[in-house]
């Protein structure tokens, strides 16, 4: 046998504490996912068409027929917070589809053979999707203003409401990231996500008051996390008692992340 010197390790890798690398790896993955967004702007366009149709439908078609008991402001001001939450909720489907695609195409396999942080693929994806949500929600704000939406509070309350909204979006991204890795096929990810989102957005306070629903449904529609977030954002934009609803929404979002982030990372480590 010929004598060959064995290169013992990749010679050039930089050594740093692992949490530093976890952050750097996450940013690298997030950057990769954001490039896709820039390169395929049609994804962003499609992400806004559906909510715009909903704004037009509820503002001009159904709006006149919807009565919200005790509402002191125009219906469009009640509607827009619901639209915002629905927009980020349906946006979370992209997290599921994106990860299912990565898995399907063998990218997850490659990432798992690299000396990178185990959490970075999931965290990078959810953070990139959060950045996308900021763009889409900004667009929806402009659309809202065009159809007569007005804020009844102040800038601080508005920003607070948007932060509550984005925290909820981030929490949903982890849930749907977990779903995407679990089903493993982009089409299946879409199919699995839709019924969950349909129930969450329509059996909710997003478009109508749960008071008008039958008793059993009303209880669900009032207490499920999407409704609570809609109520919190609505309180921030319309006014009235705000603190309890905001805290409830934050508690839901933090709780969802605490459960689904470890589940999703665990799934990532074992999938395939």
Partner 1 sequence: MASSAPSAGPAIVVEGLRKQFDEVVALDGIDLEVEPGTVLGLLGPNGAGKTTCVHILTTILRPDGGRAAVLGIDVARAPEQVRERIGLAGQYAAVDENLTGRENLRLIARLTHQPKEVVGARADELLERFRLSDAADRTARTYSGGMRRRLDLAAALVHRPPVLFLDEPTTGLDPSGRNDLWGVIEELSGQGTTVLLTTQYLEEADRLADQIVVIDHGRVIARGTATELKAGLGATIVEIAIADDRAAQRAGHVLEMVGPTNLNGHTVEVKVEGGGRDVLEVVRVLDREGIFPDTLLVREPTLDDVFLSLTGHKAEEVSA
In the complex, least distance from residue 269 CB atom to partner 1, rounded to whole angstroms: 10
Residue 109 vs 211, nearer CB to partner 1: 109
Residue 2 vs 142, nearer CB to partner 1: 2
CA-CA distance, 108 to 100, in Å (whole number)?
A: 9
In the complex, least distance from residue 37 CB atom to partner 1, rounded to whole angstroms: 9
Residue 14 vs 243, nearer CB to partner 1: 14
In the complex, least distance from residue 105 CB atom to partner 1, rounded to whole angstroms: 6
In the complex, least distance from residue 240 CB atom to partner 1, rounded to whole angstroms: 45
In the complex, least distance from residue 100 CB atom to partner 1, rounded to whole angstroms: 15
Residue 215 vs 270, nearer CB to partner 1: 270
Which candidate, 221, 111, 125, places its Cα nearest to that of 180? 125
DSSP assignment of 150-206, as one string?
--SS-HHHHHHHHHHHHHHHHHHHHHHHHHHHHH-SHHHHHHHHHHHHHHHHHSSSS
Which candidate, 183, 187, 189, 228, places its Cα nearest to that of 82? 228
DSSP letter (8 states) at residue 67: -
In the complex, least distance from residue 90 CB atom to partner 1, rounded to whole angstroms: 21
Instruction: Give the ranges where the chain is alpha helix by DSSP (H).
Output: 18-39, 41-56, 75-104, 107-113, 120-146, 155-183, 186-202, 215-223, 225-238, 243-270
The residues of the shown chain that bind partner 1, judged by CB under 8 A, are: 1-2, 4-16, 21, 24-25, 28-29, 31-32, 35-36, 39-40, 105-107, 109-116, 120, 272
Residue 13 vs 142, nearer CB to partner 1: 13
In the complex, least distance from residue 127 CB atom to partner 1, rounded to whole angstroms: 15
- Please enumerate in sequence order all residues whose Cβ is within 8 A of that of 166, keeping only pairs 6 or more positions apart, or say none: 88, 130, 133, 134, 137
Residue 31 vs 262, nearer CB to partner 1: 31
C-alpha distances out from residue 81 to 1, 58, 116, 143, 165, Å:
73, 13, 39, 13, 9
Residue 114 vs 145, nearer CB to partner 1: 114
């Amino acid at each position: 046998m010929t004598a060959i010197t064995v290169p013992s390790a990749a010679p050039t890798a930089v050594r740093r504490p692992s949490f530093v690398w976890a952050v750097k790896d996450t940013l690298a993955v997030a950057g990769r996912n954001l490039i896709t967004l820039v390169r395929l702007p049609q994804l962003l366009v499609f992400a806004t068409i559906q909510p715009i149709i909903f704004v037009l439908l509820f503002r001009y078609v159904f709006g006149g027929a919807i009565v919200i008991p005790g509402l002191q402001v125009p219906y469009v001001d009640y509607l827009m917070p619901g639209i915002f939450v629905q927009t980020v909720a349906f946006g979370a489907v992209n997290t599921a589809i994106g990860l299912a695609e990565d898995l399907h195409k063998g990218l997850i396999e490659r990432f798992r053979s690299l000396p990178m942080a185990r959490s970075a693929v999931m965290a990078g994806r959810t953070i990139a999707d959060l950045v996308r949500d900021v763009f889409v929600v900004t667009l929806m704000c402009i659309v809202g203003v065009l159809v007569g939406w007005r804020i009844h509070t102040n800038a601080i309350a508005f920003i607070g409401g948007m932060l509550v909204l984005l925290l909820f979006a981030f929490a949903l991204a982890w849930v749907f990231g977990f779903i995407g890795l679990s089903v493993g096929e982009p089409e299946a990810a879409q199919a699995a996500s839709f019924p969950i989102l349909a129930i969450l957005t329509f059996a909710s306070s997003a478009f109508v008051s749960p008071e008008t629903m039958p008793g059993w449904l009303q209880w669900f529609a009032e207490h499920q996390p999407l409704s609570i977030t809609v109520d919190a954002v609505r309180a921030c934009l319309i006014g009235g008692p705000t603190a309890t609803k905001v805290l409830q929404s934050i508690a839901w979002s933090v709780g969802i992340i605490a459960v689904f982030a470890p589940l999703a990372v665990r799934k990532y480590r074992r999938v395939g």
